[in-house]
């Protein structure tokens, strides 16, 4: 059985961030991922400032479209808009495929190995972890929302379909020049729309929704978002529809011995704050660092420190967006107290204070 320093299950941005960090620390790393090549996935594709900082830490340069903040508006009222602005560095809108290609290239340059294998379970004792015929001092589980490692380690927490309606996401790109320097969010009846500028001639449109209304196609969503439909005009769809969910997913804790969960595998409330990629890379780096430093027991506290504001803010916001009657008064309030709104945006975006 071959031996390496670190095993990473999952070859998305979270797993690649963990692998790159460990490799730059001089460790041998193998990524276990069944899919080959550049991987696309339903994703809002807006990387918040905290995630951009993580890319810089990893030495990864990515082509994308900077955005200055986020604007929130009503789906049908053009005058009801609240705009939030980052104080320091901008966020980055980038196609998921472009991001993945850049991370893969960096990992390959550092000597990270890629094994095409599906991991359904892991074994471990006090000294090592074993999976797919490989042994390592530790394992980072970055296998996503439906993590097999989370289930196999007994960390899965079932979500009752009765206690909470599940939400889903769908995304498509349109060939049109971005009309805003911000990510745009539209609040509608039973759904929200998210528009992310990802290139000079391309925007991503994503919807988050509960499966309560019958929609036959992606285009049916626009019936409840006439302002967005007008913005897109006759722009042609540039990609096929991709979907994700259901949300939320929970883990009892983010670690089990030398197996550390990162990104969506460690739990995910909802994509509405746009932090998925940023949190994935931040927790991936933290997990790798804990194992590199032989401190796997310290990861749970660091994970909590990184994600605490996400779980708090997202849980509250999901409850609010489900109540259509609250949308208009909340948007008015955000518009009337812009400094507080900007502070809230910076809070959820993990924005670093600008240098003075």
Q: Give the tens place of pLDDT for each residue, 311-327.
A: 988 888 888 888 888 88
Residue 324's pLDDT is 83
Q: What is the pLDDT of residue 254?
A: 97
Percent of the chain surpassing pLDDT 70 = 96
Phi/psi class of residue 15: alpha, beta or left (left: φ > 0; alpha: ψ in -120 to 50)?
Answer: alpha
Contact 317, 272 (CB under 8 A): yes
pTM of the model: 0.92
Q: Is the pLDDT of residue 353 over 60?
A: no
Instruction: State the pLDDT at residue 163.
Output: 46
Closest CA to 42 of 220, 243, 190, 283: 243
Other beta carbons within 10 angstroms of residue 232's beta carbon come to 18
Tell the CATH superfamily of the 2-65+92-161+247-322 domain: FAD/NAD(P)-binding domain (3.50.50.60)
pLDDT grade for 213, boundaries at 50, 70 and 90: low
Contact 311, 42 (CB under 8 A): no
Average pLDDT estimate for 84-112: 95
What is the DSSP secondary structure assignment for residue 236, as one 8-state letter?
Answer: P
- For 72, phi and psi rounded to 5 degrees? -120, 130
The band of 356, judged by pLDDT with boundaries at 50, 70 and 90, is very low
SS3 257: coil
A 10 A CB-CB count for 250 gives: 15
Residue 160's pLDDT band, with cuts at 50, 70 and 90, is: low
Cα(258)–Cα(120) distance, integer angstroms: 17
Per-residue pLDDT averaged across 243-253, rounded?
91
Q: What is the pLDDT of residue 67?
A: 96
Mean pLDDT of the chain: 91
The band of 166, judged by pLDDT with boundaries at 50, 70 and 90, is confident
Rounded to the nearest angstrom, the gap between the alpha carbon of residue 5 and the centroid of all alpha carbons in its chain is: 27
Q: Which residue has the higher pLDDT, 30 or 63?
A: 30
CA 127-294-14 angle, to 5 degrees, is 100
pLDDT tens-place string over residues 118-133:
998 899 987 899 999 9
| Domain-wise residue ranges, the chain | 2-65+92-161+247-322
In this prediction, residue 215 carries a pLDDT of 66
For the cut 80, the answer to whether the pLDDT of residue 216 exceeds it is: no
- Predicted pLDDT at 89: 87
Question: What pLDDT sits at residue 230?
Answer: 96
pLDDT at 46 over 80: yes
Q: How far is CA 78 from the centre of its chain?
A: 29
What share of the chain has pLDDT > 90, as a percent?
71
């Amino acid at each position: 059985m071959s031996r390496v320093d670190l095993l990473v299950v999952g070859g998305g941005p979270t797993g690649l961030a963990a692998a790159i960090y460990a490799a730059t620390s001089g460790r041998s790393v193998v990524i276990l991922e069944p899919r080959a090549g550049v991987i696309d996935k339903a994703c809002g594709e807006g990387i918040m400032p905290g995630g951009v900082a993580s890319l810089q830490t990893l030495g990864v340069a990515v082509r994308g479209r900077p955005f200055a903040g986020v604007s929130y508006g009503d789906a049908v009222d053009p005058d009801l808009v609240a705009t939030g602005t980052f104080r320091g560095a901008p966020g980055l809108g980038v196609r998921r495929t472009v991001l993945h290609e850049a991370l893969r290239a960096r990992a390959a340059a550092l000597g990270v190995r890629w094994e095409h294998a599906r991991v359904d379970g892991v074994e471990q004792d006090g000294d090592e972890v074993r999976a797919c015929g490989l042994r390592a001092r530790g394992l980072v589980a970055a296998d996503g929302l439906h993590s097999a490692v989370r289930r196999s380690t007994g960390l899965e927490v079932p979500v009752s379909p009765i206690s909470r309606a599940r939400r889903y996401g769908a995304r498509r790109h349109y060939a049109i020049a971005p009309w805003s320097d911000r990510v745009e969010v539209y609040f509608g009846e039973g759904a929200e729309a998210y528009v992310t500028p990802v290139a000079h001639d391309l925007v991503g449109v994503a919807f988050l929704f509960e499966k309560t209304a019958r929609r036959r196609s992606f285009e049916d969503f626009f019936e409840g978002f006439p302002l967005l439909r007008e913005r897109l005009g006759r722009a042609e769809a540039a990609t096929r529809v991709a979907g994700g969910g259901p949300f939320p997913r929970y883990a009892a804790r983010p670690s089990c011995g030398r197996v550390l969960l990162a990104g969506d595998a460690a739990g995910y409330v909802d994509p509405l704050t746009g932090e998925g990629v940023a949190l994935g890379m931040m927790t991936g780096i933290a997990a790798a660092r804990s194992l590199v430093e032989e401190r796997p027991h310290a990861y749970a506290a660091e994970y909590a420190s990184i994600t605490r504001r996400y779980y708090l803010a997202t849980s509250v916001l999901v409850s609010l967006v489900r109540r259509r009657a609250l949308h208009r008064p909340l948007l008015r309030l955000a518009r009337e107290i812009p400094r507080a709104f900007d502070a809230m945006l910076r809070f959820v975006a993990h924005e670093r204070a600008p240098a003075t």
